[in-house]
Amino acid sequence: MTTTTRPLKVGIMLPDTEREMAGETARWSDLLAMARTAEALGFDSLWVSDHLLYRYEGKEPQGVWECWSLLAALAAATERVELGPLVSCTSFRNPALLAKIADTIDEVSGGRLILGLGAGWHEPEYATFDYPFDHRVGRFAEALTIIAGLLRDGRVDLQGDYYQVRDCELRPRGPRPQGPPIMIGSTGPRMLRLAARHADLWNAWGRHDPSAIPELRAKVDAACAEVGRAPATLGRTVSVLIDLPDRAGRPRERPPFLTGTPDEMADALRGLAREGISHVQILLDPNTAAGIEALAPMLESLDRAAPPEHASGA
Amino acid sequence: MPDSRSRPLKVGLQLPEVERVAPWADLAVMARRAEEVGFDSLWVGDHLLYRTPGEAPKGPWEAWSLLAALAAITERVELGPLVACTSFHNPAMIAKKAATIEEISGGRLILGLGAGWNEPEYRAYGFPFDHRVARFAEAFTIIRTLLRDGEIDFVGDYYQVRDCLLHPRGPRPGGPPLMVGSEGERMLGLTLPHVASWNAWYAWFGNRPEGIPPLLAKIDAACRRVGRDPATVERTCAVLVALPGAAGRPAADPADRGAPPLSGSPAELADALRAFAQAGIAHVQLVLDPNTVAAIEAFAPVLDLLDAGPPGDGGEATAPDERARRTP
């Protein structure tokens, strides 16, 4: 396949949550088949969420396979695609150990990991699995210092309010001298400043309308300016929710969802690229192997040269 | 794959940990080759950092990530941590990791658990080293209950999990078999009522079959104290084996240095493993020196001899070289 004209990277989120593969719970064999299909069709990346249990009043709880175990297995079973958590909650694992997990999976993948990080948000799973929900941004800031320090320098020492690591070392080191790229998913001002200081990429959930991007971009640029970072050096990514004609219905996400012909959807992604988005993570409905195959024409459309009215910048 | 109907015990392989930094590509080749030549299981140590005075610090890759990756690239062998330290993750997270890797492997996980021992890695990574057995007791309750029943509500001194659900469930209804790696009285008392198997590290019995009976007597007595039929707990042990090219395994724990490796011809090594089986060991985790793919190849004839049965018992109806090896 040629991706020389693809204006942005296109990733696929796998159905890691109970009953979210068109109503079915994906087994490993399903996830593996979907991963290989996506890789063969030319998608750029695979993503899994990092949740433990969704619990909403009046709804059946939904559990999730463990994020990093899936990523390690996907890293071993694929060859080309990038892989990452969208995004990993730093409260769920000791941060120094999370750095070790990330570096190990970067090694298994041969340098294909994108380390998505966030502070988490779904309160019920914290108490259920024995994690504190308070001071999430304060905890995240310390966790990020530890994770980024270990992955980039191989060593960190921090006596924080929430975490204490003493003369900690990451051994062995993974395949990339600076470790995997770090992506921070948040739109909050404190989190954006942390992203501006430490991250390679930034991510926002559920945005497919290009007109929504300038306002977000202004926030990200402002955070960069505040910490003295050149805004152009922080890559921008958004997740996009696409509904295909044979959608099964989404238990949790709210509209609007991107729909249309392959050319229309490719145009929408081109619009995001023009607003500075370099990578999208697509959450499909139906989130099945057939859904991924049905999205292939959109990818082909995206790889063709842009229509003349958009070609000026190409 | 060799006909293992007459194999007297399962033979597993511990992948390199302290010996050298093995890149994933190397580990993947070793895992696939071990599966092809008929090893029964693959094992990885769960450690974060070794700091031995007078030596350069070193560390292995992260255990659970390796197990998930190994589960994805193998088809037949059992897999497990030797053994997972319950202090390094929240116990409900350990249950979730175990269920997920059990799923990826199609039901091939053996969940080895222990309380850890290597204090410097606790300090460096920010884990508490105090009350390890008491913490283990609570963690073990949470882990085994979630994997068996899929739910728990537990308020302990160290861990609180409230109305916790483990979903989705892995392929085996009761979860993966549990294995404890300890010879401590309190640890045995806590775990023997619940585990499928027990494991000893090679330094605990001098790495010799003769060292096994006194250790097993201790396990039998501990079983009786907690009302577990000793015959229902499978006994397993790590065994250090020197093959051509051995350079001496770097000791992670200074106590390991007192145990000389097994060595000898394939027939002698097969005899030694038969002696472990006769002493009551059902599964060994071999630590090969050198820990390389060449050593796996060099050890393969021992598996053939074990499968052929003891010399002179008429079990050699098929010569080892006539049996087809498993091919991918």
ipTM value, please give it.
0.95
User: B181: which 2 tokens?
Assistant: 């790696």
pLDDT in the model for residue B309:
87
Q: Is A123 on the interface with B (CB under 8 A)?
A: no
pLDDT category of residue B133 using cuts at 50, 70 and 90: very high
pLDDT in the model for residue A3:
47
Chain A residues 13-32 with CB within 8 Å of chain B? 18, 25, 27-28, 32
Tell me if A68 and B65 make a contact (CB, 8 A cut-off).
Answer: yes
Tell me if B97 and A68 make a contact (CB, 8 A cut-off).
Answer: yes
* Helical segments of B244-308, H only: 266-278, 293-308
Q: Is A74 on the interface with B (CB under 8 A)?
A: yes
**Shortest CB distance from A129 goes to which of B72, B92, B168?**
B92
Pick from A82, A86, A75, A149: nearest CA to A116? A86
pLDDT in the model for residue B323:
39
pLDDT in the model for residue A57:
93
Write the single-letter amino acid at A138: G
Per-residue tens of pLDDT for chain A, all 314 residues: 444 689 999 999 999 999 999 999 999 999 999 999 999 999 999 999 999 999 999 999 999 999 999 999 999 999 999 999 999 999 999 999 999 999 999 999 999 999 999 999 999 999 999 999 999 999 999 999 999 999 999 999 999 999 999 999 999 999 999 999 999 998 899 999 999 999 999 999 888 889 999 999 999 999 999 999 999 999 999 999 999 999 988 888 888 899 999 999 999 999 999 999 999 999 999 999 999 999 999 999 999 976 655 444 43
Tell me if A52 and B96 make a contact (CB, 8 A cut-off).
Answer: yes
The strand pair at A53-54 and A62-63 is best described as antiparallel
d(CA A87, CA A67): 9
**Residues from chain A contacting residue B120 (CB–CB below 8 Å):** none
CA angle A53, A27, A257 (to 5 degrees): 65
pLDDT in the model for residue A252:
84
pLDDT in the model for residue B316:
45
Q: Is A162 on the interface with B (CB under 8 A)?
A: no
Tell me if A107 and B88 make a contact (CB, 8 A cut-off).
Answer: no
* Helical segments of chain B, H only: 24-37, 63-73, 91-105, 119-125, 132-149, 185-191, 212-225, 266-278, 293-308
Q: What is the mean pLDDT of chain B?
A: 92
Q: Judge whether A280 and A239 are in contact, CB under 8 Å.
A: yes
Tell me if A128 and B104 make a contact (CB, 8 A cut-off).
Answer: no
Chain B residues 257-286 with CB within 8 Å of chain A? none
**pTM for the full predicted model:** 0.94
Burial class of residue A4, CB neighbours in 10 A (0-12, 13-18, 19+): exposed
**Residues from chain A contacting residue B59 (CB–CB below 8 Å):** 100, 169-172
d(CA A281, CA B141): 39
Question: pLDDT tens digits for B264-305?
Answer: 999 999 999 999 999 999 999 999 999 999 999 999 999 999
Chain B residues 149-168 with CB within 8 Å of chain A? 159-168
Phi, psi dihedral angles at B299 (to 5 degrees): -85, -20
Pick from A7, A64, A104, A296: nearest CA to B92? A64
Diameter over CA atoms, chain A: 58
pLDDT category of residue B6 using cuts at 50, 70 and 90: confident
Q: Beta-carbon neighbour count of residue B225 at 10 Å?
A: 12
Q: Which residue does chain A place closest to B121, by CA atoms?
A: A168
Q: Is A126 on the interface with B (CB under 8 A)?
A: no
pLDDT in the model for residue B259:
86
Chain B residues 25-54 with CB within 8 Å of chain A? 28, 48-49
pLDDT category of residue B3 using cuts at 50, 70 and 90: low
- How many beta-carbon pairs under 8 angstroms link A with B? 161
d(CA A64, CA A125): 11
pLDDT at residue B256 greater than cutoff 80: no
**Residues from chain B contacting residue A167 (CB–CB below 8 Å):** 124
d(CA B299, CA B278): 21
Question: pLDDT tens digits for B75-84?
Answer: 999 999 999 9
